[in-house]
Amino acid sequence: MRPVTLFTGQWADLPFETICKKAKEFGYDGLELACWGDHFEVAKADDFYIEQKLETLHRYGLKVYAISNHLVGQAVCDLIDKRHKSILPDYIWGDGDPEGVRQRAAEEVIKTANAAKRLGVKIVNGFTGSSIWHLLYSFPPVTEEMIEAGFADFAKRWTPIMDEFQKLGIKFGLEVHPTEIAFDIVSAERALEAINNHPSFGFNYDPSHMGYQGVDYVKFIDKFGDRIFHVHMKDVGWSDRPVEAGVFGGHTNFGDSRRFWDFRSLGRGKINFEEIMRALNRINYNGPLSVEWEDIGMDREYGAREACDFVRRVDFPPSNVAFDAAFDKKNR
């Protein structure tokens, strides 16, 4: 069975050892370490630092299969504004000059790959940012040239990063997500085309960001099977009737009863995990199933424990025989 891990991004307020202790108590096999809080600090990740991290994980019987640097990755392609200052390390923000921020963020993503190699993991997950997300709703009219320029900007900034990943034997998994260069199947195809199907660039599959958009999140697995490097287990619920704040959210906060959609603890939303598991089996995905737990209406420790149990229930191995093989005399 695939290992069940906990993504620590939503737990970065807790010290590293505390989340290790809790994850073990919740029943997880390992962690997907976020590169914020003190869970995995790229700037400090020398050999001694990594040895200490691995010793702590070992003490709690946990493994690490991936690290994730979503916040810094977001700044590589974004139109930088004061929001980014709140999510970036001071040494990445610097004086706030947008191009300087983007370049320092790109350098940090490469450093993350180097740190991953020293840690002994082969996957770095994250975001890419996008210079064209603000053009999503095409009014005033957006020209095709403007969109092409956005994908060209992505390729220009991320191809050198991916070249360094390739040298290190590390894969980058973009979490397909609104505000990124790829946020559905069509834009994911276009991103791959823009980056010339770079072998180090693929996806951290997360159905929750596609379900409420109306994107076929099971087809995504079948379409990009060889590019799914890592899997997030995350649920989302959406309304069956018209609401006050639709898909775009109406500038409401998560948990607002007027919203069309909200993240839910695993098994309490509308994502069809049965079909996801069958699709993952079809593509022979054997990596971790990493719980990214978010539910504004539930205690997170209760939810994380429940989510771990849920993943173990819904996961199953594929068949290794043809359905009707037992009827063949040669197999008796």
CATH number, domain at 110? 3.20.20.150
Q: Supply the range of the domain harboring residue 220.
A: 4-331
The answer, yes or no, to whether residue 321 has pLDDT greater than 90, is: no
Average pLDDT over residues 27-52: 97
Distance (Å) of CA 293 to CA 8, 134, 290:
9, 28, 9
Average pLDDT over residues 132-160: 97
The answer, yes or no, to whether residue 294 has pLDDT greater than 60, is: yes
- The amino acid that residue 118 corresponds to is R
Q: What is the pLDDT of residue 327?
A: 56
* Predicted confidence band of residue 227 (pLDDT cuts 50, 70, 90): very high
Query: Percentage of residues in the chain with pLDDT exceeding 70?
Result: 97
- How many structural domains comprise the chain? 1
31, two tokens? 């962690």
Query: Percentage of residues in the chain with pLDDT exceeding 90?
Result: 95
The answer, yes or no, to whether residue 205 has pLDDT greater than 70, is: yes
Q: What is the pLDDT of residue 133?
A: 98
Average pLDDT over residues 290-312: 98
Distance CA 133, CA 39 (A): 30
The answer, yes or no, to whether residue 323 has pLDDT greater than 70, is: no
Residues 177, 180, 186, 191, Cα dihedral to 10°: -130
Average pLDDT over residues 222-226: 98
The answer, yes or no, to whether residue 55 has pLDDT greater than 90, is: yes
The answer, yes or no, to whether residue 135 has pLDDT greater than 90, is: yes
Compute the mean pLDDT over every residue in the chain, rounded to the nearest whole number: 96
Residues 6+ positions from 219 with CB-CB distance below 8 Å: 185
The answer, yes or no, to whether residue 259 has pLDDT greater than 60, is: yes
Q: What is the pLDDT of residue 330?
A: 66
Tell which wins on pLDDT, 319 or 187: 187
The answer, yes or no, to whether residue 42 has pLDDT greater than 60, is: yes
Strand spans (E) along 131-190? 171-174
The answer, yes or no, to whether residue 328 has pLDDT greater than 80, is: no
Distance CA 67, CA 245 (A): 34
* Predicted confidence band of residue 280 (pLDDT cuts 50, 70, 90): very high
Q: What is the pLDDT of residue 53?
A: 98
Average pLDDT over residues 7-20: 98
* Predicted confidence band of residue 320 (pLDDT cuts 50, 70, 90): confident
Q: Could you tell me if 271 and 236 are in contact, meaning their C-beta atoms sit under 8 angstroms apart?
A: yes
Report the SS3 class of residue 33: strand
Average pLDDT over residues 44-70: 98
Q: What is the pLDDT of residue 324?
A: 58
Strand spans (E) along 29-140? 30-34, 63-68, 123-126
Q: What is the pLDDT of residue 284?
A: 97
